[in-house]
Chain A
Amino acid sequence: MELKTLAILIPMLPLIGAALVGVVGLRGLRDRSHWLVLTGVGLSLVAAVWLSRIVKGGVGEPVVESLTIYEWISAGAGSWLNVTFRVDALTSVMLLTVVGISFLIIMYSVGYMRDHHGHAERGYERFFAFLGIFVFSMTTLVLAGNFLLLYLGWELVGLSSYLLIGFYYQRPAAAAAAKKAFLVNRIGDFGFGLGIFLIYLTFRTLDYNAVFDMVERGVMADGTLLETSRITTIALLLFCGAMGKSAQLPLHVWLPDAMEGPTPVSALIHAATMVTAGVYMVARCSVIFASSPLAMTLVACIGAATAFFAATIALTQFDLKRILAYSTLSQLGYMFLGLGVGAFDSAIFHLYTHAFFKALLFLCAGSVMHAMGGVIDIRRFGGLAKGMKVTAVTFWIGGLALAGCPLLAGFWSKDEIVHAALYSNMPWLGAVALVTALLTAFYTFRMIFITFHGPLKLPQGVEHAHESGRWVTVPLMLLAVGAALAGYVGATWHPGGFAGLFETEGPIHHFLATVFAPAQAVLGGGHGEVGSHGGASYWATYWLMYISSALAFWGIVTAWYFYRRAPMVPGAIALWAAPVYRLLYNKYYVDEIYDVVFVRPLRRFGGLCYDADRFFINGLLWLIAAVPRAIGYGLRGWQHGAMQGYALAMVVGLLAIMLWALIRSAA
């Protein structure tokens, strides 16, 4: 099949599935509606794989192609804006990740969105339709070949996210969380929109190829020199959007609350795919960011700050899904750190591995939540490993991958980012990332040891921990395989490499190299080069991998010691450092600060406007309306209802006018 056909099919198939659910799902299919969306996304996955094979081509460079689907907006002479898809290595990596993970999670949802008797939950059809819409939106975002289409996809995924967070709209907390996500994203998107305006003003086009080409040559549309301040402004505005969508400091507040949505949604949208849209966007615009040292520094700093900040919060939380949400923030921070130090391919690599293990962890958490009758507080259950073998084992694999245990997916990609940061011009960011890696290992295994090990403890009303059905466990196992092995696209067999076995440069780096070559050229080469350390000695090349492995094990062993051997220690530490503990437990009071600084003043301002409207404007309107009313009151007596009376009045009036006309013409 042609590339163009495939590129159209990938977003359209899930959309058609979703639309069909809307048409026939509600009437005929009901709790079998998932077949439509599952088939749509499945076929879309096949198309994505096919497309990637075409992109990869033979032995040479990957294909880079812009496909014009149709003329969207035409103005003046010729077309002003087309629906253009850009297909290259970055697109195909993103498509495989998004559609692949979506497929597994939709499969999981079939089992998850039911009660223990297999009856579908309320709104079952709606759920699958929304998931279909999400896959359509996200693939559109990824395939977009110009900034307006990117923005369209960007807003569409925001909409899907809003709809799915608020899926249980009867619950006030879910409705509030959906609203919060939407509003916080609006702030970021405002900046993003302005960035796109500025791109148009500067380059007179929104097409990726044309814009990136001009940035690379350092010129504006009229041929004059592109000033650094201009490109920095563009980059920072675009980054605003990325901060909102990817929940980076200080716009991170919506993501933990978004956990009010159903667990598959948290896994798919708020961990694996949608929140990585910001990372994708920055990587896509790598040339723009690379042209602005200030923007790169800011991206790296915000990334590292978010990574550390979120990891510290995750240490103290008790809500299984929220711990994972903070962990997602932290991992997204890593990706931005990677982008900021110029290791674009490593960031995308981490995005891809993270999608597997974080989706896996969320789905496992969902499986636990399902078995515990909706309870998600890790203080209320424990020792579940015996009853829930598949969930426990897969959670362990996901946890090890997240903690950066050697040879699992997360290890390869995280290590690359840390490496790039340490060898950049801001090595202290690499140090922050290393500390964060330790914290990550600790909080992950804190969660695992409390939930799955020790004496059996169940919440009230739950008799026994039971494993979920096949629809749930099969995706878990598939994702666990991914979490274990996904990293090997970024590593190659190399005797004498890490652990005597591996070289840290893999197919994915070569695959992505063409996409990021312009940005690397702008950065001046060498910067952020990962894996190829030239003629450096063994230890100079691989010391970091041993250090980070050691940190991961240290974190895991500490968690084991704290929560299995000496359960008094964490409490003692919490008491000893009570202020710090309270600060972390309350998430640095960010929500409270926002409440005081933004929410309440704005709400007061809103109240003021409301009162002004009610008293001043409404009063004015009442006054104006009172004039005809008063006149009417005065004249009402004249209306006596007799038809002949009215006719007489008319005749008299007519005569009067005629008389007046006669007198006038006579005079």
Chain B
Amino acid sequence: MDMTEPRALMVIGAVLFGLGVVGFLTRRNLIVMFLSTEVMFQGVLINLVAMGLARGGNLHGQAFGLFVLVIAAVEAGLGLAIIVMLFRRRGTLDAEAWREMRG
């Protein structure tokens, strides 16, 4: 299978996204969970590029992907900052420490 074929790229994206979901659901460490969301993000990004390719091979998909990357970088900074704050509050990175949002 040609790895530059859109279908192959989409499969890679889907795999990355799936890995991210599984990681997010199974790990308790906030930083690892955060990394998992980033993995999901990359999966979606690759999907974007693949679809741009599928729609005629112009650069729209890649250009859009670059924008998303920048946004993702900003979001990563924000997310890490939140995690730092959470860590300062409880002194642990365990997600279980934040179970007080119970109904």
| Interface contact A644-B25, CB-CB below 8 Å | yes
Given A643-B95, A644-B95, A637 and B25 contact (CB-CB distance below 8 Å):
no
Q: How many A-B residue pairs have CB under 8 A?
A: 33
Determine how close the nearest CB of chain B comes to the CB of A29; give it in whole angstroms.
52
From B26, B98, B103, contact of A643 by CB (8 A): B98
Digit string of B80-103 for contact with A (CB within 8 Å is 1, else 0)?
000000000000000110111111
Digit string of B2-34 for contact with A (CB within 8 Å is 1, else 0)?
000000000000000000010011101000010
Which residue from chain A places its CB closest to the CB of B99 in the assembled complex?
A641
Determine how close the nearest CB of chain B comes to the CB of A383; give it in whole angstroms.
83
Q: Report which A residues bind B (CB closer than 8 A).
A: 635-644, 647-648, 651
The CB with the most chain B CB atoms within 10 A, among A635, A636, A638, A641, is that of A641
Which residue from chain B places its CB closest to the CB of A637 in the assembled complex?
B103
| Interface contact B24-A636, CB-CB below 8 Å | no
Task: Chain A residues near B25: list those with CB within 8 A.
Answer: 644, 647-648, 651
Interface size class of B (residues with CB under 8 A): 10 to 19
Which residue from chain B places its CB closest to the CB of A655 in the assembled complex?
B21
Instruction: Give the docked Cα–Cα distance between A644 and B98 (Å).
Output: 11
From A635, A642, A648, contact of B99 by CB (8 A): A642
| Interface contact A639-B24, CB-CB below 8 Å | no
Instruction: Give the docked Cα–Cα distance between A651 and B26 (Å).
Output: 13
Task: Chain A residues near B95: list those with CB within 8 A.
Answer: 642-644
Instruction: Give the docked Cα–Cα distance between A638 and B28 (Å).
Output: 20
Task: Chain B residues near A647: list those with CB within 8 A.
Answer: 21, 24-25
Which residue from chain B places its CB closest to the CB of A646 in the assembled complex?
B101
| Interface contact A639-B101, CB-CB below 8 Å | yes
Given contacts A639-B101, A648-B25, 17 further A-B contacts (CB under 8 A): A635-B103, A636-B103, A638-B103, A639-B102, A639-B103, A640-B99, A641-B98, A641-B101, A643-B95, A644-B24, A644-B25, A644-B95, A647-B21, A647-B24, A647-B25, A651-B21, A651-B25
Task: Chain A residues near B28: list those with CB within 8 A.
Answer: 644
Interchain residue pairs with CB less than 8 A apart (22): A636-B103, A637-B103, A638-B103, A639-B101, A639-B102, A640-B99, A640-B102, A641-B98, A641-B100, A641-B101, A642-B95, A643-B33, A643-B95, A644-B24, A644-B25, A644-B26, A644-B28, A647-B21, A647-B24, A647-B25, A651-B21, A651-B25
Instruction: Give the docked Cα–Cα distance between A638 and B101 (Å).
Output: 11
Which residue from chain A places its CB closest to the CB of B37 in the assembled complex?
A647
Given A647-B24, A648-B25, A651-B25, A642 and B96 contact (CB-CB distance below 8 Å):
yes
Task: Chain A residues near B99: list those with CB within 8 A.
Answer: 640-642
* In the complex, chain B residues 13-69 whose Cβ is within 8 Å of any chain A Cβ: 21, 24-26, 28, 33
Determine how close the nearest CB of chain B comes to the CB of A557; give it in whole angstroms.
93
Determine how close the nearest CB of chain A comes to the CB of B15; give it in whole angstroms.
15
Instruction: Give the docked Cα–Cα distance between A243 and B8 (Å).
Output: 92
